[in-house]
Structure 1
Amino acid sequence: MFNEQVKVILYADDVKKASAFWQSLGFIELSFEELDGSQVAEVAMSETSTTHLVIYDRAFIQKNDDEATEPSPALIFGSDDMISLYKKLQTVGVQLGDLTQIGEEYIFNFVDTDGNYFVVSGN
């Protein structure tokens, strides 16, 4: 049976830089390893989070399995305080889309250091 643990693979040109990006958004780095000449980092929103992002070196993966790195994942993060989160991401210099209200929810997107887009929705 499946459990509640979900790990999402992200590919980055610079694993350390990508991990630092997510940490600047408030994520924590759970692990950073050197594996077979490549780097792998795992980050999460907290130590008890059931969703983790596992960041692999894009060049290493393409060299070993050129079909594995595409397409990029489409992730939607949730937030209970969209305005504060949006302001925090502005403060740390993250490239952001417009904060838009749709019905009772807000939504915006942001871009990581490798040009991947992510969405946040909530109140």
Structure 2
Amino acid sequence: MINKIGQVMLYVNNQDASKDFWTEKMGFEIIADETNGPMRWVEVAPKGAATSIVLHSKEFVAKMNPEMYLGTPSIMYFSDNLDALYKDLQNKNVKVGDIVEAPFGRVFNFEDAEENYFAVCEKK
């Protein structure tokens, strides 16, 4: 039986720029940055998180598996201090959308280094 999500694969054009975004702008930790032959994977996650993001080279994966879907997954992050995170991201020049009230709580979206959008929901 599956009991949790372990990793989310994020296929990116520039692994270094993506790694910098997730660590410097979002405050994630580097779990791994390894190369095995022509393959490199960069694993990042919020401190203490059960689920991580693995930044894979979109070009490399496309060559290895041309039929693979390389689009960006729709990911919802949770924050226990949405307002502070919002202000922090604005101060770091991260493109953010407005904070809106949704049926499940307050939420906003943000853009990564490759103009992919993700969302953050307030969870207290």
TM normalised by structure 1 equals 0.89
Greater displacement, 101-110 / 52-61: 101-110
CA contact (8 A) 2:13 2:58 kept: yes
1:45 equivalent in structure 2: 46
Matched positions, count = 122
Counterpart AA for 2:102: I
Aligned-partner Cα distance in 1 for 2:55–2:15: 6
Aligned-pair CA distance for 1:68: 2.1
Q: Distance in 1 between matches of 2:69 and 2:93?
A: 27
CA 1:111–1:67 in 2, change beyond 3 Å: closer, same or farther?
A: farther
Structure 1 residue 103: deviation in Å?
5.8
How far does residue 116 in structure 1 lie from its aligned partner after superposition? 1.2
| Large movers: runs of 4+ above 6 Å | none
Shift of 1:20: 1.1
2:28 corresponds to which letter in structure 1?
F
The normalised TM-score by structure 2 is 0.89
Q: Aligned residue for 1:7?
A: 7
Q: Considering only aligned residues, what root-mean-square deviation do their CA atoms show, in Å?
A: 1.7
Q: Structure 2 unaligned runs (5+)? A: none
The letter of the residue matching 1:70 is: L
Shift of 1:35: 2.4
Q: Which moved more, 1:77-86 or 1:91-100?
A: 91-100
2:30 is aligned to 29
